[in-house]
Homo-oligomer: A and B are copies of this chain.
């Protein structure tokens, strides 16, 4: 591997551990738990892993628990990359080796399919040392295969037996951790003796609840995007001639957009959850944005920055309705029979009176993006719409109308950006490096104590790392029943932005000033060395949520 100067220097960083995971480690168990909803159904589906207690690792003066018999562990990276995944694996490795130098750690390759297809590698010290404090999931690769079928569980069991593996750690988001719990339940019900432990990963920030303060990677990804947004704000404020429309990854939830807004104080930041709550139309959004742009132009400020969450379009109730009808129409017999030369024209004629105006309000190129290629289920692909361009184009049109009506006297020129891949594999911040290493260490200790169906957790994360509290949460505790593809399923409740939560309220309290004035903040790049207030800062979201 070719290493940059930073990577070489950063390899020497020793992540900090909470006191409870240093020295002698003991486990304190709390009371039995309940799921956050649908207790009866969840209990019925998870008879063996339901109701387990929360557990915490506590510093101890006494003897070490006797947890050192030889054990092998397997680890899987599931889903999209998030900074710090390598450090979770390093944490597991270091702790299983401390527990017993003969212990082995196996990595299943390219995600959950590695377990099913028996593709794996033994992670030795040589390999591990190449990946300490680095970004990416390239140590073993990741993948999106879902572990849901009994045949997969059984196939996995074969290789688990062959490698004498005691437990599998699944590092993933809400769905992957739900599946980890299903797997834990299956292996327990079938008395295989194989344990399964989850780890809360996702840059999107939507795996978060009373037990999980933050998912790993959110800190680093948001800081990387905020660096870029801050640089663009400074450019906007220097050149004074462009509006920058910036779309940000984050799937459904707007956590990333909100965090970046708190970090950079842009003129506009759309929050999907609020747009849905207020039942806003696409035209409402466009009119709001145009009004902000016109108000700034009044002061001579023909520039600005607007943040747009990736999932926006599906949170606009009217667009959601339109999409449902488009899915129906495009798979209808009438459409097939007509095989129209002009798809858009045909749809304009056949859409219901409610949906037709919404569709015809879309500039043609976006109507084409939306109704062109469909996914394997025959659904239109919302993700193909370049929302940042769609909004800029519709805003430009609205401003033209306003200009004709004498309501806008300025200039409007837009630049577009979409940030996602730029941050998912950044080298983890000190926070994520420490947090992930502690999560991995916790996972290893949970395994050594025979736990299964747990997720490794670390709390009190706004305090210095020494004071963090590591432990485990029964995955069933975070579950409820939700409809997925037409069926009720046990799932970990996904955390969207709460409009009553402190981060949103902090944003809402300031955004009017940010709109009018230029209040940009320039966070700059992540620093690994230097003053602690620079290099050990948490996200604004976490600081606000954990504030008293």
Enumerate chain A interface residues (CB-CB to B < 8 A). 2-7, 9-10, 80-81, 110, 134-138, 141-142, 224, 227-228, 230-232, 234-235, 237-240, 244, 263, 265, 415, 417, 421-427, 519-531, 533-535, 537
Nearest-CB distance from A419 to chain B (Å)? Answer: 9
Report the bound CA distance from A424 to B239 in whole Å. Answer: 11
| A519 in contact with B235 given A9-B533, A524-B7 (CB within 8 Å) | no
A525 near B227 with CB under 8 A, answer yes
B110 near A240 with CB under 8 A, answer yes
Could you name 16 residue pairs across A and B whose Cβ atoms are closer than 8 Å? Answer: A4-B263, A4-B521, A4-B522, A5-B537, A6-B522, A9-B533, A80-B239, A81-B234, A81-B238, A134-B522, A136-B238, A142-B239, A227-B426, A231-B422, A232-B422, A530-B530
A422 near B228 with CB under 8 A, answer yes
B525 near A235 with CB under 8 A, answer no
A240 near B141 with CB under 8 A, answer yes
Nearest-CB distance from A252 to chain B (Å)? Answer: 20
B234 near A519 with CB under 8 A, answer no
Report the bound CA distance from A136 to B235 in whole Å. Answer: 6
| A522 in contact with B7 given A529-B529, A530-B528 (CB within 8 Å) | yes
In the complex, the chain B residue whose C-beta lies closest to that of A524 is B6
Q: A6-B525, A9-B533 are in contact. List 17 more A-B contacts (CB 8 A).
A: A2-B519, A2-B520, A4-B521, A5-B523, A5-B533, A6-B524, A10-B524, A81-B238, A137-B238, A138-B238, A227-B426, A227-B525, A238-B425, A417-B421, A427-B525, A525-B527, A530-B530
Nearest-CB distance from A293 to chain B (Å)? Answer: 18
Find chain B residues with CB under 8 A from A238 CB.
Answer: 81, 136-138, 141-142, 425
- The 8 A-B residue pairs with the shortest CB-CB distance, nearest first, are A525-B525, A529-B530, A234-B425, A136-B234, A6-B524, A137-B238, A235-B425, A529-B529
Find chain B residues with CB under 8 A from A110 CB.
Answer: 240
Report the bound CA distance from A7 to B231 in whole Å. Answer: 12
Find chain B residues with CB under 8 A from A141 CB.
Answer: 238-240
Find chain B residues with CB under 8 A from A530 CB.
Answer: 9, 527-530
In the complex, the chain B residue whose C-beta lies closest to that of A77 is B238
| A232 in contact with B519 given A238-B81, A534-B9 (CB within 8 Å) | no
A427 near B522 with CB under 8 A, answer yes
Nearest-CB distance from A243 to chain B (Å)? Answer: 12
Find chain B residues with CB under 8 A from A426 CB.
Answer: 227, 231, 524-525
In the complex, the chain B residue whose C-beta lies closest to that of A264 is B4
Report the bound CA distance from A137 to B525 in whole Å. Answer: 18
Report which residue of A7, A141, A421, A535 has the largest number of chain B beta carbons within 10 angstroms of its beta carbon: A421
Report the bound CA distance from A263 to B6 in whole Å. Answer: 12
Find chain B residues with CB under 8 A from A427 CB.
Answer: 522, 524-525
Nearest-CB distance from A8 to chain B (Å)? Answer: 8
Find chain B residues with CB under 8 A from A10 CB.
Answer: 524
Report the bound CA distance from A7 to B263 in whole Å. Answer: 13
Report the bound CA distance from A4 to B529 in whole Å. Answer: 16
B3 near A521 with CB under 8 A, answer yes
Nearest-CB distance from A438 to chain B (Å)? Answer: 22
